[in-house]
Structure 1
């Protein structure tokens, strides 16, 4: 029997703004970006957890949390060197360790979907590496089935559509990735919509995972690897050319190679840009240094994402606020960002139509 979902107090449903980020402009009559319909295409499973839930589950299961995940939350991160990435990964692994029962996973997805609804997200694609949970939940296949069932229940309860992206870990052997790709293909059309590649791109070239992505693409899944975050254009190029990416997680370093960026635009590949994450990990010094405006004006399709709100302290609407305040995006341009996220998603056509109509309504435009 499914346990009752324990919700945080209403004030905790909205994210705590990261004090290191610029505050949004006050006194503006512009429409609320949290009411702008959008799709969220770059969100990691454990990283989507509410901070209050992390603390509560840690107490319930006797998991000790470091100060960086309690009093000093959100943690100060800087992962452009090996030591910094190790600390980031360690905090993520500690957070994952509080998910010890099926009801914990169901709660996480239910609360994540509630938060997505509050942020204006009508479609979510959440990325999960089942290998990190398989030892606790009976193996890879039972873990995937548990996540898919929890996603279905969360979607029914909140009205937010949810697809799952199965992600391989680039620090593990490419044969493990092939195993995950074959597993993901088994659930094509049953909740799994894409195949990804995550973790430190300095420790595993995209080239090595071509076989796994070939399996996933032939099975009808979107190719959605990370690239161009901690490494430069060469990493993005391998995702584009070797893994035949439909979308690229981050990809911001593509601006360093105009010809590469032109190919990305020509192929219609979407870049999942995560401004707060880029600042948190040291990829950009400030939110205004994230090359969002340059990518947008070059014609790139962009889907803003929150990456890991649990570690970066802000969710999806905050990324749109940063586009507005730090990159001077007009309401029409914010609406176009939302449209691009919806068009790049694996959402069913009726969901896309509904969300796109909502974007027009938010902007005050007649339906397109």
Structure 2
């Protein structure tokens, strides 16, 4: 699964900075509520009489440091307040439509959005009605925007593993309606990965991709647990694997994609600055990477900005950025025909040579 990285730097031609918003991409790490536009949150909060703290209403992304328990609690509290503003089916439809529009503007051609339906079920009539509303919204948004959209159902690792099994069965039930994977989110420092092994077995046996979070707030051991205990095909974040060369080799050899979210890593205090995110370490070790925006509502930047970060802070050439895009496509659950078209379009972007747009 390793690639010849030297081929990406072999050209003697001067570099051309192409418009990264035009680079076709797959977006594999975007959370449901966190995809919301800030203006939409303000409107929904006003509609339902929800008081927003200044961190959510001040116009700038909140200052978050989640590397300690108090900081993570504050992050979760802000997320929960935002989620409380999604109360009706129309709110769900609006969120998905706008998330798809934002992704399309950033060059995303394939989006896998992650949702824990238990968070919305009480207001939408239960788990099954909630899933039907979400998947109907996904189908409509995909048709209206022209990008492929699928869903990953995510369990919450701070809740009981039996709930995760229920969600895994629910996810498999809706496989033919657009659910492609099963995840595990929230604070990876709480709840052992192996406690959720049965839920992931249910999902895999039902034909779903395993994509748990790991290697963000906890070190490389949490990535190892995702591989060994949950048989992950992808790892949400996974950046801390850079601290373990042996683990890097295994990720590369097995072709396990890490869904790296650079802006999120800095905003949550995992790394002090953008240049510290070990993108180059992962890339040069041959670990497949899918750049993701995570929670744009809280972190202030969407998908194309993650590619800009790789260019500006890590010196990625356009050839290397195109390879990052290809890796996102290969790591996706998109059908083979869709992958082939996307990969051809990435090659066309690289061959075009037009400079990036100003402004």
Q: Shared fold by TM > 0.5?
A: yes
Q: 1:236 aligns with which of 223, 242, 246?
A: 223
Distance 1:43 1:309 in 2: 8
Aligned-residue offset at 1:350: 2.1
Q: For residues 332-351 of structure 1, what are the structure 2 equivalents within 5 Å?
A: 332-351=319-338
Structure 2: runs of 5 or more not aligned: 1-14, 354-359
- Name the residue aligned to 2:298: 311
Worse-matched range after superposition: 264-273 or 351-360: 351-360
- 1:217 matched to 2:199? The reply is no
- Name the residue aligned to 1:180: 167
- Name the residue aligned to 1:79: 66
Distance 1:261 1:356 in 2: 25
Distance 2:138 2:192 in 1: 31
Distance 1:146 1:204 in 2: 30
RMSD: 1.2
- 1:300 matched to 2:304? The reply is no
- Name the residue aligned to 1:110: 97
Cα deviation per residue 1:346-367 (whole Å; 9 max; x = unaligned)?
A: 112222122111101110079x
Q: 1:360 aligns with which of 307, 324, 347?
A: 347
Aligned-residue offset at 1:208: 0.7
Worse-matched range after superposition: 146-155 or 184-193: 184-193
- 1:154 matched to 2:141? The reply is yes
Aligned-residue offset at 1:103: 0.2
Cα deviation per residue 1:94-119 (whole Å; 9 max; x = unaligned)?
A: 00011111000000000110111000
Q: For residues 1-368 of structure 1, what are the structure 2 equivalents within 5 Å?
A: 30-71=17-58, 73-364=60-351
Does the residue aligned with 1:220 lie in a helix, a strand or coil? coil
TM-score under structure 1 length normalisation: 0.91
Does the residue aligned with 1:122 lie in a helix, a strand or coil? strand
Check the 8 A contact 1:194/1:221 in 2, yes or no: yes
- Name the residue aligned to 2:9: none
Does the residue aligned with 1:325 lie in a helix, a strand or coil? helix
Structure 1: runs of 5 or more not aligned: 1-27
Check the 8 A contact 2:16/2:318 in 1, yes or no: no
Check the 8 A contact 2:260/2:292 in 1, yes or no: yes
- Name the residue aligned to 1:3: none
Cα deviation per residue 1:237-285 (whole Å; 9 max; x = unaligned)?
A: 0101110000000001111111111111111100000000000000010
TM-score under structure 2 length normalisation: 0.93
Worse-matched range after superposition: 37-46 or 233-242: 233-242
Q: Which runs of 4+ in 1 moved over 6 A?
A: none
Check the 8 A contact 1:67/1:73 in 2, yes or no: no
Cα deviation per residue 1:283-317 (whole Å; 9 max; x = unaligned)?
A: 01001000000000000000000000000000000
Does the residue aligned with 1:223 lie in a helix, a strand or coil? strand
Does the residue aligned with 1:168 lie in a helix, a strand or coil? strand
Aligned-residue offset at 1:61: 1.2
Cα deviation per residue 1:23-69 (whole Å; 9 max; x = unaligned)?
A: xxxxx961111100000000000000000100111111111100001
Cα deviation per residue 1:125-165 (whole Å; 9 max; x = unaligned)?
A: 00000011111111111111111000000000000110100
Distance 1:220 1:267 in 2: 19
Distance 1:30 1:293 in 2: 19
